[in-house]
C-alpha cells in the first residue's frame, strides 16, 4: 500500500469525517453550527483531518473534512491531525482546543503542537531499495513543536497535532467538542466526537520495556542538566509508559553524576515496567574486556546497586542487569564468568542480553541469562525457540534497531506510522513478546557529530537539526536511536514517539480481552491484524476498526 492509500484509509476513502476508532461513521460533510464567517476575503486554503497514525507529507493533498471521530478508554491518549493547506504563507493561526463534554461530564487539558520537519538528503545505499522506492530528498514530518500560534507554509499540507487524554475512570459516553481556528479573517471549527469506553487501561504497563535514555547526551545539550529540565525529561518518558533508564551509562564516568536515583525509580514505578539496575558493559568494546575487569567494576558499584534493590523498585522483576549487547560466540566465556559472579551476589535479579547467536536453552543457561532479547529480523525471533525457553522459565523479549526492513515493521523516518502501533500492540501480543527493548531515544550524535542546540518555542517549522547517522555507510539511515527532540525546557516529542505510546497503550486492550475471553481466543483476535512479523495490516482504517471491536468486547 502506498502513502496515498494510507491517507485515503485514514479518512475513510475521501469522506469528510476522519475516523480514529469509532464503531460507525458518517460520510456527509457536517453542517457548520457556528455563526456565519464574516470574513470578506476569499478563503485560499483547504482543511482536512487525519488520524495520528498517518504521516502527512508536505505534498499530500487530502480530502476536505471538518470532523474527527474516535474511541478512547480511560487512562488512554488519542491523537489526531488538522491539516491546513494554504495557497499563500500564513504567519499566524490561532488554535483553541475546547473541552469534550457529555452531559455533566467533561474531559479537559488537551494539547496541540505543530508538526515540524527534518531534512533528509538521501536514501542512497539503503540495504533494501524497495523500502524507499519513490522517496526523494526533502523535508519529512517528525518533531512536534511548541508554538504560540500555528504557522502555515505556502502550498504545504501543514499539520496541527492534537492530543486528548481521558483520565482513568472517565464515565462512558459520547463526548463532543471543537477546535477553533482563526485563519486571517476567517474562523473555522473542527468538530470532535469521542466515544469513551466503559473501561480504563491499567496505569502500570503489562508489557515490560527498556528504552534507553542517554544521560550523557542530555548533559551535553543542557550543561549541568538542571533539575527542572531533568525532571521534565523523566516525566515525559513515564507519561508514555516508559521508565527513564540508561542502558549504557558509565557510572564511574562523567555521566555517572546524572544517574537515575533509587528514589526516582520508586517514583516512576507506578507508571512504568522495566529498568536497568546496572549496565554490565557500557561500550561495544567492553564485551572484549577481561572478566576480572568487569567483575571489579561491578563490585565498585555495589553501593548504588544495593540502594536500588533496597528501595524495592526492582521487586517483581522490574529491575534487571543488562549487558554484552549483541554478543558474539567469542564473548560467551566472559559472559559466563561475569554473570556467575553477579548471580552469586543477587540470585533473584534477572540478567538480560541481546543476542543473535544464543540458539539453544543449553547455551542460555551456560551464560546465566534469564531474559534473552531477540531481534525480530530474519526469523531470529521465532516462537518455537522462544516457547522452548519460556517452558524452562526464561523470558524472551523482542527488539529492533536499524533493522528490520520491509516487510517487517520499524520506525525509521521512511516507515509508515501504523507499523509502530501494530508492532507494539497486536504483533507484540500475537508473537508473545515478554518485553521490548530499543537502544536509544536521544542519540544526539547525528549530522556532523555535533551536539544539537535546544529547540526554542516558535522555532521555524523546517528544523535545523539532523537525524541522519553521520557515516558514509549509513548516510541512508534517518531517525535510528532518535525519537525525542531537545526543547529549551525539556523534551519535544515526535510523531513516531507518540505512535510508540499508542502501541503500548493499545497492547492493553489485548490483555484486558485475555482476562475476559482467554489467551487462545485473544491470540486469534490479534491475528486479525498481525499474523506474523511480516504479515500484518498497514491499513489505518482496518486497524482502528479492529481496536473498536476489541473495545466492544470489553463493554
The residue behind cell 556467575 is 340
Residue 41 binned pLDDT confidence (cut-offs 50, 70, 90): confident
Q: Could you count the other beta carbons within 10 Å of the beta carbon of residue 398?
A: 23
Give the cell for residue 219. Answer: 548533559
Would you state the pLDDT for residue 38?
Answer: 53
Q: What is the mean pLDDT of residues 91-106?
A: 98
pLDDT at 447: 82
pLDDT of residue 449: 85
- pLDDT tier at 11 (50, 70, 90 boundaries)? very low
Q: What is the pTM of this model?
A: 0.94
Return all residues near 389 (Cβ < 8 A) that are at least 6 apart.
361, 364, 372, 395, 396
**pLDDT > 90: what percent of the chain?**
90
- Give 493 or 15, the one with higher predicted confidence: 493
**With bands split at pLDDT 50, 70 and 90, how would you rate the model's confidence at 301?**
very high
Q: How far is 153 from 365, CA to CA, in rounded Å?
A: 58
Predicted confidence at residue 130, as pLDDT, reads 87
Lowest mean pLDDT among 31-45, 69-83, 102-116, 280-294: 31-45
Coil, strand, or helix at residue 17? strand
β-sheet bridge partners, residue 102: 105
In this structure, the dihedral spanned by the alpha carbons of residues 337, 340, 341 and 346, taken in order and rounded to 10 degrees, is: 160
Question: What pLDDT, on the 0 to 100 scale, is given for residue 39?
Answer: 53
The per-residue pLDDT for range 383-415, each reduced to its tens digit, is 899 999 999 999 999 999 999 999 999 999 999
Would you state the pLDDT for residue 20? 55
* Residue 177 backbone phi and psi in degrees, to 5: -165, -175
Span 457-465, mean pLDDT? 97
Average pLDDT of the residues in 56-65: 97
- pLDDT level of residue 5 (50, 70, 90 thresholds): very low
33: pLDDT confidence band, cut at 50, 70 and 90?
A: very low
Amino acid at each position: 500500500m502506498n502513502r496515498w492509500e494510507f491517507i485515503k484509509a485514514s479518512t475513510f476513502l475521501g469522506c469528510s469525517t476522519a475516523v480514529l476508532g469509532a464503531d460507525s461513521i458518517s460520510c456527509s460533510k457536517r453542517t457548520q453550527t457556528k455563526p456565519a464567517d464574516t470574513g470578506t476575503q476569499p478563503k485560499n486554503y483547504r482543511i482536512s483531518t487525519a488520524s495520528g497514525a498517518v504521516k502527512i507529507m508536505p505534498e499530500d493533498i487530502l480530502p476536505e473534512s471538518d470532523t474527527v471521530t474516535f474511541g478512547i478508554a480511560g487512562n488512554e491518549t488519542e491523537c489526531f491531525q488538522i491539516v491546513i493547506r494554504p495557497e499563500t504563507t500564513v504567519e499566524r493561526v490561532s488554535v483553541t482546543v475546547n473541552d469534550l463534554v457529555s452531559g455533566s461530564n467533561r474531559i479537559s487539558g488537551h494539547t496541540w503542537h505543530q508538526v515540524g520537519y527534518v531534512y533528509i538528503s538521501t536514501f542512497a545505499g539503503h540495504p533494501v531499495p524497495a523500502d524507499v522506492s519513490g522517496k526523494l530528498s526533502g523535508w519529512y514530518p517528525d518533531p512536534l513543536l511548541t508554538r504560540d500560534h500555528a504557522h502555515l507554509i505556502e502550498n504545504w499540507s501543514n499539520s496541527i497535532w492534537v492530543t486528548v487524554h481521558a483520565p482513568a475512570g472517565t464515565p462512558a459516553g459520547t463526548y463532543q467538542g471543537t477546535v477553533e481556528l482563526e485563519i486571517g479573517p476567517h474562523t473555522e471549527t473542527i468538530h470532535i466526537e469521542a466515544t469513551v469506553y466503559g473501561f480504563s487501561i491499567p496505569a502500570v504497563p503489562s508489557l515490560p520495556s527498556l528504552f534507553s535514555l542517554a544521560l550523557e547526551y542530555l548533559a551535553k545539550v543542557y550543561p549541568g542538566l538542571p533539575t527542572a529540565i531533568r525532571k521534565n525529561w523523566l516525566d515525559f518518558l513515564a507519561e508514555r509508559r516508559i521508565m527513564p533508564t540508561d542502558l549504557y551509562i558509565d557510572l564511574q564516568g562523567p555521566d555517572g553524576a546524572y544517574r537515575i536515583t533509587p528514589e526516582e525509580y520508586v517514583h516512576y514505578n507506578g507508571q512504568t515496567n522495566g529498568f536497568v539496575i546496572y549496565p554490565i558493559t557500557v561500550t561495544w568494546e567492553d564485551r572484549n574486556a577481561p572478566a576480572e575487569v568487569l567483575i571489579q567494576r561491578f563490585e565498585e558499584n555495589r553501593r548504588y546497586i544495593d540502594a536500588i534493590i533496597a528501595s524495592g523498585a526492582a521487586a517483581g522483576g522490574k529491575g534487571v542487569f543488562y549487558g554484552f549487547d549483541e554478543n558474539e560466540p567469542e564473548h560467551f566465556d566472559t559472559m559466563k564468568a561475569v554473570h556467575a559472579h553477579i548471580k552469586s551476589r543477587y540470585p533473584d535479579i534477572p540478567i538480560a542480553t541481546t543476542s543473535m547467536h544464543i540458539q539453544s536453552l543449553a547455551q542460555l543457561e551456560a551464560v546465566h541469562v534469564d531474559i534473552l532479547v531477540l531481534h525480530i529480523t530474519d526469523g531470529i525471533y521465532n516462537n518455537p525457540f522462544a516457547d522452548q525457553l519460556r517452558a524452562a522459565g526464561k523470558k524472551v523479549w523482542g527488539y529492533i534497531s536499524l533493522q528490520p526492513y520491509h516487510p517487517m515493521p520499524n520506525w525509521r523516518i521512511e516507515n509508515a506510522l501504523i507499523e509502530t502501533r501494530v508492532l507494539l500492540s497486536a504483533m507484540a501480543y500475537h508473537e508473545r513478546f515478554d518485553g521490548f527493548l530499543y537502544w536509544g531515544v536521544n542519540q544526539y550524535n547525528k549530522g556532523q557529530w555535533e551536539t544539537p542546540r535546544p529547540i526554542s518555542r516558535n522555532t521555524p517549522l523546517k528544523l535545523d537539526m539532523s537525524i541522519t547517522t553521520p557515516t558514509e555507510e549509513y548516510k541512508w539511515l534517518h531517525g535510528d536511536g532518535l525519537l525525542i527532540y531537545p526543547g529549551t525546557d525539556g523534551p519535544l516529542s515526535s510523531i513516531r514517539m507518540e505512535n510508540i505510546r499508542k502501541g503500548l497503550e493499545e497492547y492493553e486492550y489485548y490483555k484486558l480481552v485475555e482476562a475476559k475471553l482467554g489467551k487462545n481466543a485473544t491470540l486469534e483476535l490479534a491475528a486479525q491484524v498481525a499474523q506474523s512479523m511480516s504479515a500484518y495490516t498497514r491499513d489505518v482504517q482496518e486497524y482502528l476498526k479492529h481496536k473498536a471491536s476489541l473495545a466492544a468486547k470489553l463493554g
